[in-house]
A and B are shown apart, each in its own frame.
Chain A
Amino acid sequence: MASSSGNDDDLTIPRAAINKMIKETLPNVRVANDARELVVNCCTEFIHLVSSEANEICNKSEKKTISPEHVINALESLGFGSYITEVKDVLQECKSVALKRRKASSRLENLGIPEEELLRQQQELFAKARQQQAELAQQEWLQMQQAAEQAHMAATSASAGQQAGSSQDEDDDDDICL
């Protein structure tokens, strides 16, 4: 992040997100500015509340990572049990999305070709490409050599004819300059 406006201590949910929620929840209702500000800060407070409670539950469970289960139990103990159904729905949605993603990558593997074989094919393709590049380079080199030889011959014949007249040189110059 290039710009760091505000310290880390002022972390809140963005005001715009809250405004959007207000607009969606209470369309055509005027809400005072300081009330909106309060909502922003309520979010912060809620996050700390749930985090703290979930963390405590997590510690009791002897696990090191706060899991969805801990969060759900935290909501229950804090009196937000009515939120649990929808929170569980989100959890299910996330799980199914993750599952789909994993299936997609394994479907690719199961084209019938094991990974080692795919690797071998890839190496083959690389080798082929390298060979083609080498041939191309060689051709270019030969062409350059031929062109150089021609240029050299042209130069020697030109210098031989230089004694004949300067106008010839001018013509040659014209040819080269195109």
Chain B
Amino acid sequence: MPARKRKPNVRFSPGRIKKMMQKDAEVGRIAAVVPVLISRALELLVRGLLVETCLIAQAQLSSIVLLAHMKQCIESEKRFHFLNELTETATTITAHRDARTLSMWSLYRSTGMDLSYRYR
């Protein structure tokens, strides 16, 4: 039974994390505590990403943190480079949305575009 009071940090669901880990067919057994550790690492990643992106946005005198800022953040740090592919897909979709007024093709497309990123 999950004892939330014992671990009061903002945590991501270890159960969900374990499921996501086991998406990879190569991954076999996982010690019970591992998803909890990854949850913490995730927390640190998200925080780092957000803070750096925010700094970039502020440096560009933007009051809103935009996708473009985040993309810059990912490109600027070596350890975020594993996210490069992700930003390419994201940018493409945004560009499509922005070009809606220009291209005729988008008129024939349904407006509810699915933004889910598929892996493998």
Which residues of chain A have a CB within 8 Å of any CB of chain B? 8-14, 17-18, 20-22, 24-26, 29-32, 34-35, 37-39, 41-52, 54-55, 64-68, 71-72, 75, 78-80, 82-83, 86-87, 90-91, 93-94, 97
Contacts and interface: CB of A to CB of B under 8 A. Distances in A.
Contacts of A24: 10
Interface of B: 3, 6-7, 10, 12-13, 16-17, 19-21, 23-24, 26-31, 33-34, 36-38, 40-47, 49-51, 53-54, 63-67, 69-70, 78-79, 82-83, 86-87, 90, 93-94, 115-119
A9 B118 CA distance: 7
A13 B50 CA distance: 16
Contacts of B66: 32, 34-35
A71 B119 CA distance: 22
A30 B49 contact: no
**Interface residue SS majority, chain A:** helix
A23 to B, nearest CB: 10
Contacts of B64: 30-32
A38 B119 contact: no
Given A35-B66, A41-B86, A66-B27, A87 B10 contact: no
A11 B34 contact: no
Given A26-B54, A44-B119, A94-B33, A35 B70 contact: yes
From B40, B63, B64, residue with most partner A Cβ within 10 Å: B40
6 contacts: A11-B19, A32-B66, A35-B53, A42-B45, A52-B24, A71-B37
A67 B16 contact: no
Contacts of A47: 17, 20-21, 38, 42
A72 B87 CA distance: 27
Contact of A46 (B10, B28, B42): B42
B79 to A, nearest CB: 4
A38 B44 contact: no
B27 A51 contact: yes
Contacts of B6: 97
B16 A87 contact: no
Nearest to A13: B12
Given A66-B27, A71-B38, A48 B83 contact: no
Contact of A30 (B7, B27, B65): B65
Contacts of A20: 10
A87 B40 contact: yes
A35 B94 CA distance: 10
A43 B20 CA distance: 10
B23 A11 contact: yes
